Structure 1
Amino acid sequence: MYNLKKKRKMKRLVWVLVVVFSVTTVYAQDDQGYKDGEWVLSGVTGVNLSQTAMTNWSAGGENSVAGNAYLNGSLLRKSGNWLWQNALVLDYGLSQNKSDGTRKTNDNINFTTQLGYSTNNKWFYTLMGDFKTQFARGYKYPDRENYISTFMAPAYANLSLGMEFRPKANYSIYLSPVSGKMTFVSDKTLSDSGAFGVDPGKRFKAEFGAYLKARAEQAVMENVNLVTTLDFFTPYSDQLGNIDVNWDVLISMKVNKFLSATLNTTLKYDNDVKTVDGEGNRKGAKVQFKEVLGVGIAYHF
């Protein structure tokens, strides 16, 4: 049994390393730089809308409307041997039709700040902190009575000390052997049920482990930009080798001066977040995936 578990952990670790290698190979070739003493601001923000209207439509269907607002940006400044970077991701979306009413389709708050010191402009001794949560309550539709998440339930914070490799302003890989992951479940109903890995009745869980983060911004081709962030965490405990994964990808495609199409995907795996079947029974953790495709107004900066 021990060998079987060990093999599963090793396979998962190999998969993670393959993903990291793929990402770093793609983005290491970019030649964008930054100048000492200047702020570098980059990113994209916009609103995507979709609408369907029907009148006496023989094939069936109903009127619907959906919208999503988003921001994905970074701000950094290099001063001498010091480098300070901040990254912010905000997403919120809703859809509405007669049968289902109003439903939330997207909800994300993600902020990262880090301070690094270097002697060669590429390797930085870095202190990093990040925070993740959501804006509003989430439901397992069609159940609208019992919410399964809300603002600060869950919320994740990570404070770590490590080394960052940053050959260019828009590409970095950070590795920390000294990282603390904190899980917050501020809602009493959810904490009492032991949601998101906290002990029932507790609203906080702390883990100590290793952390890796990769981020890249790339002009894939003319009018097509990509921003991706990849996070890994494994605790120094009996769960060592169970790797929490969070991979965000935003592809923005400029149609003309005003219109843009965006593709936003998120892949997650957290061993502490158990799935629930249709009868309310808790099952094991599973890979989570979300994809949002939209057309709307976007501003690149």
Structure 2
Amino acid sequence: MKNLLLTVLIVIALSFHVNAQEVDTIPISTKNLDIRLKRSPLPTRIGILQFEPVDLKPALVNAKVNYWKTKTSIGINVNQAAFSDNWKGGGVNSLAIGGLVNYKAEYSKESYSYVSEVILQYGKVKNKSQLQKKTTDRIYWDNKAAIQLSKNWYFFGSINFESQFDKGFSYSKDAQGNEKENLLSKFMSPGYLTESIGFEYKPNKVFSTRIGTGTARQTFVLDTNLYKTNANNFGVKKGKNFRNELAFQIVTSYEKEIFQNIMLKTRYNMFIPYDNFGHIDHRLDINLVAKVNRFINVSVTGVGLYDRDTDLKIQGSQTLALGMMIVFPR
């Protein structure tokens, strides 16, 4: 009995102790209470900071600003087809090869700029029992210097040259059915030299339009006998080898990666002679290149030309090629 009574008293005492702890831990708001912290009785001492001068030698960077940017593309395309003598599907053995060199240099410093671009193209195809024929042949060199007038407008001067490497022929057959060549053109027959000054609109890096208010073009036909096989003689009088024209010119260029690894490059040229506004020349070049990997690409090239000095109808050419392309710098 005494043990039971002692146990009950211990339980009551513990309960009272727990309740007392709960009451003591009730949070009390200190708002509006004047509570002051006593100053620490421990002594404090602030040391004196000492600074010593340090000699720093200026670092000299031996760096030069390069205002030039260059790009060179070298490509080669090869196409070949062969058939056995008993191949019933029809066809002819053939071999085609073409090459391209494209060099572009750009200089830009403050408001001055200069661009030089060279395009060299040549290709041939040989079919069995037929004469060799050209697939592409072009020499093009364009130079332009400009000074910036405002955000998007420039004053420019340009000079460019265009011709071809090899002889160009039309083909027909004689009475025996053999192919024969008829000479149409050759190197510097024709050759074009064009000088132009005017204003250029360039709102961004991919698009530009030149407005050549003062343009002169010289047409060269160095072979004075070419008119015997090419009656138009590229607008040069028969027996002569030079013609000069003053004109108004518009040149529009667009170059952009339209999709990943697919580059579109276009150039449109309109030439209006001042002595004959009704005789307008048009040329449109389109080049679409799809990059397969680091070296292999597929290209589609098209040219549309309307020039009554060469033909009264619109002329066109198109090539599709799979080949190797190396670009410097990488």
Report the TM-score range of the alignment, normalised by the length of the smaller protein: 0.7 to 0.9
Residue aligning to 2:254: 216
Residue aligning to 2:319: 292
TM-score (norm 2): 0.73
Number of residues of Structure 1 aligned to a counterpart in Structure 2:
255
Tell me, in whole angstroms, the C-alpha distance in 2 between the residues paired with 1:149 and 1:94: 16
- Secondary structure at the residue paired with 1:141? strand
Tell me, in whole angstroms, the C-alpha distance in 1 between the residues paired with 2:139 and 2:217: 17
Q: Residues 73 and 266 (structure 1 numbering): CA distance in 2 closer, same or farther, change over 3 Å?
A: farther
Tell me, in whole angstroms, the C-alpha distance in 2 between the residues paired with 1:79 and 1:126: 15
- Secondary structure at the residue paired with 1:196? helix
Residue aligning to 1:186: 222
TM-score (norm 1): 0.80
Tell me, in whole angstroms, the C-alpha distance in 2 between the residues paired with 1:60 and 1:182: 48
Gaps of 5+ in 2: 1-64, 173-178
**Pairwise CA distance, 1:288:** 0.6
Map residues 1-301 of structure 1 onto 2, 5 A cutoff: 38-42=67-71, 44-55=73-84, 56-142=86-172, 144-190=180-226, 195-237=233-275, 239-274=276-311, 285-301=312-328
Deviations 1:245-284 (A, max 9, x none): 111111111112221111111111112113xxxxxxxxxx
**Pairwise CA distance, 1:194:** 5.4
Q: Residues 168 and 38 (structure 1 numbering): CA distance in 2 closer, same or farther, change over 3 Å?
A: farther
Tell me, in whole angstroms, the C-alpha distance in 2 between the residues paired with 1:97 and 1:191: 29
**Pairwise CA distance, 1:209:** 1.2
Tell me, in whole angstroms, the C-alpha distance in 2 between the residues paired with 1:71 and 1:269: 26
Tell me, in whole angstroms, the C-alpha distance in 2 between the residues paired with 1:221 and 1:293: 19
Residue aligning to 1:18: none
Tell me, in whole angstroms, the C-alpha distance in 2 between the residues paired with 1:240 and 1:165: 24
Tell me, in whole angstroms, the C-alpha distance in 1 between the residues paired with 2:103 and 2:265: 9
Report the identity percentage. 30
Verify the 8 A CA contact 1:81 1:121 in the aligned structure 2: no
Tell me, in whole angstroms, the C-alpha distance in 2 between the residues paired with 1:118 and 1:265: 33
Verify the 8 A CA contact 1:170 1:217 in the aligned structure 2: yes
Question: CA RMSD, aligned part only?
Answer: 1.8
Residue aligning to 2:43: none
Q: Which amino acid aligns with 2:100?
A: Y
Verify the 8 A CA contact 1:122 1:167 in the aligned structure 2: yes
Tell me, in whole angstroms, the C-alpha distance in 2 between the residues paired with 1:75 and 1:170: 16
Verify the 8 A CA contact 1:123 1:164 in the aligned structure 2: yes
Q: Residues 289 and 233 (structure 1 numbering): CA distance in 2 closer, same or farther, change over 3 Å?
A: same
Tell me, in whole angstroms, the C-alpha distance in 2 between the residues paired with 1:163 and 1:260: 36
- Secondary structure at the residue paired with 2:144? strand
Higher Rg:
2
Residue aligning to 1:14: none
Tell me, in whole angstroms, the C-alpha distance in 2 between the residues paired with 1:146 and 1:296: 31
Residue aligning to 2:48: none
Verify the 8 A CA contact 1:191 1:203 in the aligned structure 2: no
Deviations 1:26-68 (A, max 9, x none): xxxxxxxxxx952233464311111101123122222111011
- Secondary structure at the residue paired with 1:220? strand
Higher relative CO (Cα under 8 Å, sequence separation at least 6) belongs to 1
- Secondary structure at the residue paired with 2:234? helix
